[in-house]
Amino acid sequence: MPYTKIVATLGPASDSPEVMRALIKNGMNVARINFAHGTHEEHAKKIADLRAISSELGIPVAILQDLGGPKIRVGDLPSEGVSLKVGDLFCLYSEEGKGDKRGVSVTYPELPDEVETGDPILLADGLLELEVVDARPTCVECRVVTGGVLTSHKGINLPTRTLKTSALTEKDIKDLDFGMDEGVDYVGVSFVRSAADIRMVKDRMIGRQAPVIAKIEKHEAIANIDEILEVADGIMVARGDLGVEVPLEEVPTYQKILIRKANALGKPVITATQMLRSMVDSPRPTRAEATDVANAVLDGTDAVMLSEETAMGAYPIEAVQYMARIAKKAEETFSYEHRLKQHPEKDMADSVAHASCVLAEHLGASAILAATASGLTAKKISHFRPQRKIVALSPNESTVRELSLYWGCTPVLVSSPKDTDALINSSARAALDHGLIAKGDLVVITAGHPIGGAGTTNMLRVMQL
């Protein structure tokens, strides 16, 4: 399997136990559940099935709860949609009602108060464009700039406006509480604008913590990325809405900048949206899509994500297989030595993590075994991107699942050792039992002494098995 992790979205095409099992066996490390769709009952079943299959296979899989966020959408339209022609007038109503060729309701009643004449309004991921002609209390009258067919519940973007919506909707709060009760491993926050949005989510989670992933898909998030990275536990380069909020030609550059900034802080970054989009209908990706995945890997992303490819596509298993193959091949040309030189160590734990990577390279070790309670040791090693597998051994199930997102980490659940010697021996034995190393291999082992304390990575040992 590649060092780069694979996030796959569960949906109608992949929420059966049979398909889940195949996705895990073929390389899915993180299962994304999109809370913009479905009921709590449906999501609870997905989570229960996933946990059971993961346990049965002995392969840890993290669950990413993706909150819907304050997405503005159009309301109901005829099943065939309505055709918008360039130059036509079209109304966005602040009151609910059935839409037609003259206009449609929106899910944000305050819209007339927050737009001005001349503002662009993008619909359906930017495929259609309107320009505000007049903003009245019950209707934002627009002229069609780019036409097409508009169907029910398509998204609305206002790239030149910062709306007064809350980072957490009432639905998000209920979903978040549900996710905490279910023990999700990560929470994705949509349409983040500032660090305050992340703090709001973390404040709601007090006492029931899970790492928070900030989805970067607003122009405000780009402007505030440094402060967001300070408080978020990771980020997602959500290229779908981002490509509507900012000029399309700027998305590749922002992708590289965002990955580089997350890498520098040792925080995981997921590259997402339309990576293998053609595989919704085709059994093979396009050459451009293969190149896109490979370039994200070479940029340094921790994970690549599949959305509708696995949620509603005809070939969900094949999509994961291709993603794994492309990522693994790209890793053959990744600049590992450059990364080791690029990030200087900052404290004892960083120094030990860096030294373990350098030592493993110089000695040609088969693996780095990172014994860790909180996961910090393995995360710091992952940060340096060694060219050796990282076997992360922890007695905590939540830590093992969390590490499933981190580049290069193969997490393994072990029992709690009594002392340092037992820790070293049990780590080596667990790695052997899982087929991750073999007798006669040289391994580098890192841990904290005394054992049991989080954040005390201070021990480094070389062992011939």
Catalytic residues: 32, 73, 215, 273
What long-range pairs does 32-35 form, CB within 8 A, spacing at least 24? 32/7, 32/8, 32/64, 32/66, 32/188, 32/305, 32/307, 33/9, 33/63, 33/64, 33/65, 33/66, 33/184, 34/9, 34/66, 34/68, 34/311, 35/65, 35/66, 35/67, 35/68, 35/172, 35/175, 35/179
Determine if the peptide bond prior to 344 is cis (ω within 30°). no
Torsion of CA 105, 65, 323, 245, to 10 degrees: 40
User: Helix, strand, coil proportions of the chain in percent (round to 5)?
Assistant: 40, 25, 35
CB 409 within 8 A of CB 378: yes
Secondary structure class of 347 (helix, strand, coil):
coil
Q: Report residue 205: phi and psi, to 5°.
A: -95, 5
HSE-up (13 A, CA, CB side) for residue 433: 11
Token digits of residue 412: 């393994």
Amino acid at 372: T
Residue 286 CA to chain centroid, in angstroms?
Answer: 23
Residue count of the chain, please give it: 465
